[in-house]
Amino acid sequence: MSPKRLTTKPSQPGEGRGRRHVAETYLEVAKLIDSEDGTAINVCVGVAVLAGIAAGDAICAAALGERFAGQDHHAAAEVLGRVDPKLGRLLRELATLKTTSHYGFGLLSPAQRKTALRCATALVAEARLRQP
């Protein structure tokens, strides 16, 4: 059985490095409010999710010469999983938090914030290795 076809687009020169810079900045912003409670948890998680998405793009650009092209971040995690299954799982964890953090009405928990920051930090660290 052939692998599922996912829509990707070729990475242009410098695009991966640019996405890494964006990922680093998102993560830096998320860490500014990582000790705040209430709605700040949702904001922190939401920004950490964006950091992970950008880092995933940077990693895919370096490893595959392309990145996912679409709105389904679970599919983006699948593309990243082709580079490294562990990295794909990290992005998938973040993607599950995206809808609630960006569009939900309920508050996320400190444990969810910890998970989001852990995943985003690992993805950004990997992007730094692959996109110096």
- Asked whether residue 3 carries a pLDDT value surpassing 70, the answer given is no
Question: In angstroms, rounded to a whole number, what is the distance separating the alpha carbons of residues 57 and 132?
Answer: 14
Q: What is the pLDDT of residue 6?
A: 81
Q: How does pLDDT run across 17-72, given as a tens digit for each residue?
A: 999 999 999 999 999 999 999 999 999 999 999 999 999 999 999 999 999 998 89
Q: Is the overall model pTM greater than 0.85, yes or no?
A: yes
Q: How does pLDDT run across 75-131, given as a tens digit for each residue?
A: 999 999 999 999 999 999 999 999 999 999 999 999 999 999 999 999 999 999 999
Q: How does pLDDT run across 97-112, given as a tens digit for each residue?
A: 999 999 999 999 999 9
